[in-house]
Amino acid sequence: MTLDRAVTWVLRAWAGVVFTFVFIPIIFSLVFSFNSQRFPTIPLGEFSTQWYQTILADPDVWQAALTSIIVAVCTSVLATFLGFCTAYSDYRYNFRFKGAYLALILLPPTIPLIIMALAMLAWFSRIGASGEVWSIIAAHTVLTAPFAMAIIRLRLNQMDENLEAAAWNLGASEWATMRHVVLPFCKPAIISAACLCAAVSFDEFAIAWFVSGLNKTVPVVILEIVTGNIDPQVNAIGTFVFLTSMTLVVAAQLLFLARTARGTKQGAGT
């Protein structure tokens, strides 16, 4: 079976190559951000924090960061709300045209961003809302709500099918049941979904670029710097964006794990 072992190692090595390819740009971006050269190459220049100083001194970057945070927070609240509503409707009810209803929320991620961007740009100008911060929020909500819906729907799948009925049975109205049973049960998934939606919104550039006008978000600033010239500021901004997104993703992951640990579907015995 030596051939078998050899094949195994070749396959693993190949996987290693693929991972290297995937992580090269991320690692190099980090390295370049601390590198003094304007056009980084081998051998590397000196260690320098000049790019960080440049961006931290740039009011445009601060303004963009603020816009990005506002957009990400509002998007995550709205998208999670819509995602929850849809996930709950899907879990609880059967109704006519349910397929179309679900398609309505699930389809946006399958449409190329550039097309969404053009459609949103045209639509928002038509209704007189081009260049507004809330147009970016509305567009990002459409884009991220399906992710929230998927995460919360998975959580609802773990709910005992009689849990709501048990609450009604104990005197809780449907509204009280929502507040005291369904929402507490879904809480980990809701927070998890909010984190992911914020992270996706924080990174999105195509729609934001088309729709934002003067209210640029961080990715739009990056896009404009990259289009202009070679400027390692981008790497420094990228590092910040990376840290923000990863914090959100790790938070979401931890909650995802925590929710499987506590209170999944429980039966009468073991």
Q: Which is nearer to another protein, 47 or 262 (CB)?
A: 262
Q: 234: how many CB neighbours lie within 10 A of its CB?
A: 19
- Alpha-carbon Rg for the chain in angstroms: 23
Provide the minimum distance between the beta carbon of 169 and another protein in the complex, in angstroms, as a whole number.
Answer: 5
Rounded to an integer, what distance in angstroms lies between the CA atom of residue 107 and that of residue 114? Answer: 15
For the bound state, the minimum distance from the C-beta of residue 228 to another protein, rounded and expressed in Å, comes to: 12
Shortest separation between residue 172's beta carbon and another protein, angstroms: 5
* Sign of the Cα pseudo-torsion (116, 122, 128, 130, in order): positive
Closest approach of Cβ 240 to another protein, in Å?
10
Our CB check for another protein shows the closer of 52 and 242 to be 242
Give the DSSP letter string of 78-123: HHHHHHHHHHHHHHH---TTHHHHHHHHHSGGGS-HHHHHHHHHHH
> How far is Cα 144 from Cα 245, in angstroms, rounded to an integer?
14
Q: Which is nearer to another protein, 53 or 264 (CB)?
A: 264
Residue among 19 and 62 whose Cβ is closer to another protein: 19
